[in-house]
Chains A and B, each alone.
Chain A
Amino acid sequence: MDFQGYNIPDDLLYTKEHEWAKEEGTIVRVGITDYAAKTLNDVVYVTSPKPNEKVEQFKSMGTVESIKAVSEIYSPVSGTVVKVNSQLDSHPELVNKSPYGDGWIIEVKPTNYASEKKSLLDAKAYAAHLNGLVTQ
């Protein structure tokens, strides 16, 4: 779906801190939302955990930086990092160009996703959350 020009794919789950999670077989792919990317304006630097490092749901797993600002990335899922999007080292702008595609950040082998995903928002709930933010 679309909320005021921000793309919110229906098949993903979201955090209130603007990360998304996508279940793909036995792993969960993680990135930041179109709203987060557009608010940062121009992503110039991404720091993410390395493969085999542990991440915990709703805990900081890295940062995404624009020229002006630094923003924490909070993991939507607990587990072990299996893959990092190394393309972002030389092309951080992919986070802006394709936040749900080539701009993904890490892939995680989850430990308890079946239970954890109940604390995430679906597209409709995330759109309602954005609505609350932009009308504040």
Chain B
Amino acid sequence: MSKATQLYGYHANHAKLTEFAGYEMPLWYTTTTDEHLAVRNTSGIFDVSHMGRFIVKGPAATSFLEGLVPTDVQSQPAGKAFYTLLLNDRGGIIDDLIIVRISEDRYLLVVNAANAQIDMEHIAGHTPGGLELEDLTATTAMIAVQGPRAFESLQPLTGLDLGQLKRFRSGETKIMGAESLVSRTGYTGEEGFEVIVYDSTNERPEKAMKIWEKLATTSIPCGLGARDSLRLEAGFPLHGSDMDKDTNPFEADLAWVFSAGKVGYVGSDAISEFRKVPPAATRRGLVLGSGIPRHGFDVVDADGEVGTVTSGTFSPILHKGIALARIRQDHSDFGTKVGVLVRESRQEGIIVKPPFYDEQLYGWKRQKGK
């Protein structure tokens, strides 16, 4: 039987539902295109309560996480959030995640819903004594507020000065009276926040529902359809599509996640071996002149296959088919012309550096006042 988030009652009344990672989730409320554009132009809200949320705490928490992920942990100040990876012994990617250092020795790990159980087993399997590991997924709600007007939508609900919260910083506060954690993070490329509502439970979801319904008066509710098209347009990889447990992180353009000189984490021996040979492929953006690329389509040049589309969609901003693709290193220069086999026909494409939109006009770097 599928699981439901605390906001399921709203989705069941307002959205087309779909099952995702064992949860009944909203696919869209109106249309994916309208929801996508709302996030690029105004503000949208997403129920992301299905994502796994684990607390790691105790005096040994920092040294434990230091041995778990390839990104330096001890230098992260309290309140900092950072993107990193869980690796297996072969250096493959078990999952990607955000870690929030809430305070000196208390951390929150936010992982992909589809991998939450595998991640928990992996983490628990490496846990030494004297460490507390707690799964908050079923006992909290999580809402993303994203878009150039996300600030105006969320600020009236909290005493925390969101203007003072820098990107990838977080703070604990009350939202409409409910104990919460707010991070200035997201998965859309836009300005925005992710809110975890602590004191709301599956049995008593009223506090989370009240916050959602209040936000829905100033932001557009968005489903998983827009969540996927937005992340792809921003160029963010999705675990399970663009990378998996067999992916060499250097072939997924994730070298930046590895802190210089760091060793001694799970998978670091395999990573040291990967470093000795140049990666055979890398992750790149592709824009097509016509047609929509989809996962698994071949990328070709005149002599044959040079890569594979790992995720693709139609960009509502560009009005073109876009993709993330795994491209052979010798064909990966930006501006390289390639073909994509869209079913029976070859469509012309060009290799680009994501995000796919003009950063002067869209995304968190945009010029304000436009």
Binding site for B on A (CB under 8 A): 41-42, 44-45, 47, 63, 65-68, 70, 96
Please tell me if B32 contacts chain A, counting CB pairs below 8 Å. yes
Among candidates B16, B225, B291, B343, residue contacting A67 with C-beta atoms closer than 8 Å: B225
B292 close to A68 (CB less than 8 A)? no
**Chain A residues in 8 Å Cβ range of B228:** 68
Q: Nearest chain-B residue to A38 (Cβ)?
A: B16
Please tell me if B294 contacts chain A, counting CB pairs below 8 Å. yes
Please tell me if B180 contacts chain A, counting CB pairs below 8 Å. no
Q: Nearest chain-A residue to B34 (Cβ)?
A: A42
A44 close to B294 (CB less than 8 A)? no
A68 close to B343 (CB less than 8 A)? no
Q: How far is the CB of A31 from chain B (nearest CB, A)?
A: 19
Among candidates A41, A42, A65, residue contacting B292 with C-beta atoms closer than 8 Å: A65
**Chain B residues in 8 Å Cβ range of A45:** 291-292, 314, 321
Please tell me if B33 contacts chain A, counting CB pairs below 8 Å. yes
B contacts with A, residue count (CB < 8 A): 19
B314 close to A65 (CB less than 8 A)? yes
**Chain A residues in 8 Å Cβ range of B33:** 42, 44, 67
**In the complex, what distance in Å separates the CA atom of A47 from the CA atom of B110?**
40
6 CB-based A-B contacts, threshold 8 Å:
A42-B31, A42-B33, A45-B291, A67-B32, A68-B32, A70-B292
Interface string of B193-213 (1 = CB under 8 A from A): 000000000000000000000
Interface string of B220-237 (1 = CB under 8 A from A): 000001001100000000
Total contacts A-B at CB 8 Å: 41
Binding site for A on B (CB under 8 A): 16, 27-28, 31-34, 36, 225, 228-229, 291-292, 294, 313-314, 316, 321, 343
**In the complex, what distance in Å separates the CA atom of A19 from the CA atom of B32?**
23
**In the complex, what distance in Å separates the CA atom of A67 from the CA atom of B291?**
12
Find the residue from A41, A65, A68 having the highest chain B CB count within 10 A: A68
Among candidates B28, B292, B343, residue contacting A44 with C-beta atoms closer than 8 Å: B292
**In the complex, what distance in Å separates the CA atom of A63 from the CA atom of B292?**
11
- The 7 tightest CB contacts between A and B, nearest first, are A42-B31, A44-B314, A67-B32, A42-B33, A67-B229, A67-B314, A68-B225
Contact status of A68 and B31, CB under 8 A, knowing A44-B292, A45-B291, A63-B343: no
Q: How far is the CB of B229 from chain A (nearest CB, A)?
A: 5
Contact status of A66 and B291, CB under 8 A, knowing A41-B16, A44-B314, A45-B314: no
**In the complex, what distance in Å separates the CA atom of A70 from the CA atom of B293?**
10
Contact status of A67 and B294, CB under 8 A, knowing A41-B31, A42-B31: no
**In the complex, what distance in Å separates the CA atom of A47 from the CA atom of B16?**
26
**Chain B residues in 8 Å Cβ range of A42:** 31-34
Q: How far is the CB of B230 from chain A (nearest CB, A)?
A: 10
